[in-house]
A and B are shown apart, each in its own frame.
Chain A
Amino acid sequence: MTDWLPPEAATALALSLRVSLVATLVSLPFGVLCAYALARWRFPGHGVLNGLVHLPLILPPVVTGYLLLLAFGRQGWVGSLLWDWFGFTFAFRWTGAALAAGVMAFPLLVRAIRLAIEAVDPRLEEAAATLGASRPKVFATVTLPLILPGVIAGAILAFAKAMGEFGATITFVANIPGQTQTLPTAIYSFLQVPGGDAAALTLVLISVAVALAALALSEWLSRRVAARIAGR
């Protein structure tokens, strides 16, 4: 492709971007729903849901990857059904990498959105209801616009986390160039072969740049949430 980036590395970068983007976008609606439920509803199983959401943050990534393999592998209890009914599988495909990245990034996504929701005064939502807005309309016209910067900040963090996901991915879908080899697993592979240091270093620099840019963007958006809720 280019002189400074070996084709294998370019493939890994492109795959990483695709995996992270899909992982973030697909998990976003679930993340908003989960965050809203955790922030606003009191229901039996509230603590269980909270624990479940945070589990990937606490478990060793290898364990999460292995659990994903048990559930979504070709022989797994969900994976076998998917294969039998739809002929679809996550195993050793880029979709599997996206699933692993999405699961690992989910706690960050939910935490950021939940903070934004908790900063919204529920009395504003009551006021909207007295003005004639149904629950979904209140969410669409009051809650969502107020938390939008927080949602975007969470999505960016999740995206950055997905770009860096290593343990769960390599355990669940291995490290197949062009299939499941993402940025971090490619760096790992380059470091295993003699003379791969230069390519590894390039990828390391790209990783650092992506992470820093995401962090800066997310910080800026968080400040926007605060300004928006203050109404200036």
Chain B
Amino acid sequence: MTLEVRLRHDFPGFRLEVDLTLPGGLTCLFGRSGSGKTSIVNAVAGLLRPDHARIVLDGVALHDLPPHRREVGYVFQDARLFPHMTVAENLTYGPRVRGLRPEGMDRIVALLGIGGLLSRRPGTLSGGEKQRVAIGRALLSRPRLLLMDEPLAALDEARKAEILPYIEALRDETGLPILYVSHSVPEVARLATTIALIEAGRVVAVGPAADILSDPGTAPVLGLRDVGAVLTARIAAHDADGLTRLDTVAGPLWLPQVAGELGKPLRVRIAAQDVILALGRPEGLSALNILPGRVAELHEGQGPGVLVRVDLGGAFLLARVTRRSAQALGLAPGVAVHAVLKSVAVARSDVGAGGEPG
């Protein structure tokens, strides 16, 4: 699958100019509010008619088609369920208006865990339930591409945690390409296979999620507090004292109680500010995770901090240290270091399902 999005549109006081070619998987459009992310997906859906647009999905020119013929599913931030229909009627709306039979209804209902809601009306559902029904409704319309515009933004943390695994399952099990708008780094880190950074109506970086997230140069766009690389791992053992051992290319990683069977692939986001760097292998330290590597790149910002990209032998970590420490340790590309990480520093929400981020 390839999606080509080339568009230009002049809003009052703001120009959106984008040229993107995207592979399959889940692509996150990341940027601040007002950067133009939603306008991009609206243009793909046909809800916005840009001044100039060329939008091609696998050879089909979408920009020539009205919205209802684009076969693009859209999950909005505010579920937008039809209030006069039951959940079941909402779900089958897409096939019904096109005179088709709903296909794969049972599978999608099971995937999203909405079997118990079918006869209810949208007004009686919680925010998380509404959003799952909206995802199901979009999937049942048999889209060739799924658009999701901050589908979790209106939900509290508990509801987000409830829906994230469903989106991971969509990404890993259906093979449906997804264009996902977000301004939450933890969300992007868990979900994205490709990331496009959008700033003031322009694409400033695009690439595999692992590269973009561990690139110290993109940090200012992501927001310094949220910067962090993503490591892929597999569950290796559940220890008796409540810790779970994960195997990564860089060595073992112990985290508190990660649910899942042995061998299950995971993505773990490690915030740059939680990583400590040491020259020698530290002794007598309470931190359990000590991963050896080499400094790959340093990036100095405006402030007193330095972002260090550490090559762990095939995977990358980001560490945020002070400039003073960087000078004291003599950090430079090629220097051997040990990255130290407290087990309890990794939040449960930073551990998600899935294989390669990119």
Contact = CB atoms under 8 A, between A and B. Distances in A.
Nearest to B140: A131
Nearest to B74: A130
Contacts of B46: 129-130
A131 B80 contact: no
Contact of B123 (A126, A135, A142, A231): A231
Interface in A93-135: 121, 123-124, 126-135
A134 B80 contact: no
Given A228-B83, A231-B122, A126 B47 contact: yes
B94 A132 contact: yes
Given A230-B123, A231-B122, A133 B97 contact: yes
Given A128-B97, A232-B121, A146 B67 contact: no
Contacts of A132: 68-69, 71, 94, 97-98, 141
Nearest to B73: A130
A131 B76 contact: no
A131 B138 contact: yes
A212 B75 CA distance: 46
Interface string B110-140: 0000000000011110000000000001100
Contact of B84 (A133, A135, A138, A145): A145
A141 B97 contact: yes
A142 B82 contact: yes
A143 B124 CA distance: 21
A230 B83 contact: yes
Interface string B325-348: 000000000000000000000000
Contact of B121 (A124, A138, A231): A231
A130 B68 contact: yes
Contact of A129 (B67, B81, B82, B122): B67
A117 to B, nearest CB: 14
A123 B80 contact: yes
Contacts of B70: 130
B316 interface: no
Contacts of A142: 82
B124 A232 contact: yes
A201 interface: no
A229 interface: yes
Contacts of B66: 129, 134
Interface string B83-106: 110000000011001100000000
B271 interface: no
Contacts of B121: 231-232
B337 to A, nearest CB: 50
A216 to B, nearest CB: 24
B72 interface: yes
Given A130-B45, A231-B121, A124 B97 contact: no
A223 interface: no
Contacts of A232: 121, 123-124
Contact of A128 (B69, B73, B93): B93
A56 to B, nearest CB: 33
A121 B71 CA distance: 22
Contacts of B82: 124, 127-128, 142, 231
A146 B81 CA distance: 13
A46 interface: no
A40 interface: no
A132 B70 CA distance: 8
Interface in A146-179: 146
Contact of B83 (A123, A130, A138, A229): A229
Contacts of B141: 130-132
Interface in B28-75: 45-47, 66-74
Contacts of A228: 83-84
A232 B83 CA distance: 7
A126 B74 CA distance: 10
A162 to B, nearest CB: 29
A231 B70 CA distance: 28
Nearest to A131: B94
A40 to B, nearest CB: 15
Contact of B68 (A121, A124, A134, A145): A134
16 contacts: A126-B67, A128-B97, A129-B67, A130-B70, A130-B138, A131-B68, A131-B94, A132-B98, A133-B93, A134-B97, A135-B68, A142-B82, A145-B84, A228-B84, A232-B121, A232-B124
Q: Which 5 A-B pairs have the closest CB atoms?
A: A231-B83, A231-B123, A232-B123, A130-B74, A131-B94
Interface of B: 45-47, 66-74, 76, 78, 80-84, 93-94, 97-98, 121-124, 137-138, 141
